[in-house]
Amino acid sequence: MDLYYIQIRDIIQRVDNVAPPNLFQLQNTGKARFYGSELNVSYQALRQLKIGANYSFIRRENISRPELKFIDVPEHKLLAYLTLRPTSWLQVFASTEYNTRRYSTSAGTEAGGFALLNLNAQVRLHRWVGMEGGVNNLADRLYSLVEGFP
């Protein structure tokens, strides 16, 4: 488990809707505070099977200008996975991840939370040669990292 607390002065932050509209600027917006935690767990259930999870919490606050929001990072994120290695040359990795809402503009526009299911396979063809392929968003869910752009 990791915990952190960071105080920053003279933070450079994206500020949206500067003149003319729909433009942004990177500005020194003063003091900010970031804090959070991360927790990782994993378990080797069988010789061929490993399961695990990761949880992240991050809060970012502008102290000098609290009306400005930091963008692109969800406050909570959860990832659960399993890795199956049925043979010495094949590995399959399945994961699901959940992200809470995030701000997509410093003015407070939000992109909603979402959950994804991902699947990946790796094949070792030779000692130093391999192939990998996968599908992210296996359930074909509509989601946005930035509001208005699915």
Domain ranges of the chain: 37-57+67-135
DSSP symbol at 70: P
**pLDDT 10s per residue in the chain (150 long)?**
999 999 999 999 999 988 887 889 999 999 999 999 999 999 999 999 999 999 999 999 999 999 999 999 999 999 999 999 999 999 999 999 999 999 999 999 999 999 999 999 999 999 899 999 999 999 999 998 887 666
Place of tokens 């963008």: 71
CA atoms 7, 10, 12, 13: torsion sign: positive
**Alpha-carbon span 117 to 149, nearest angstrom:** 20
Distance CA 57, CA 61 (A): 13
Sheet holding 129-135, edge to edge: 2-8, 32-46, 49-62, 76-87, 90-99, 114-126, 129-135
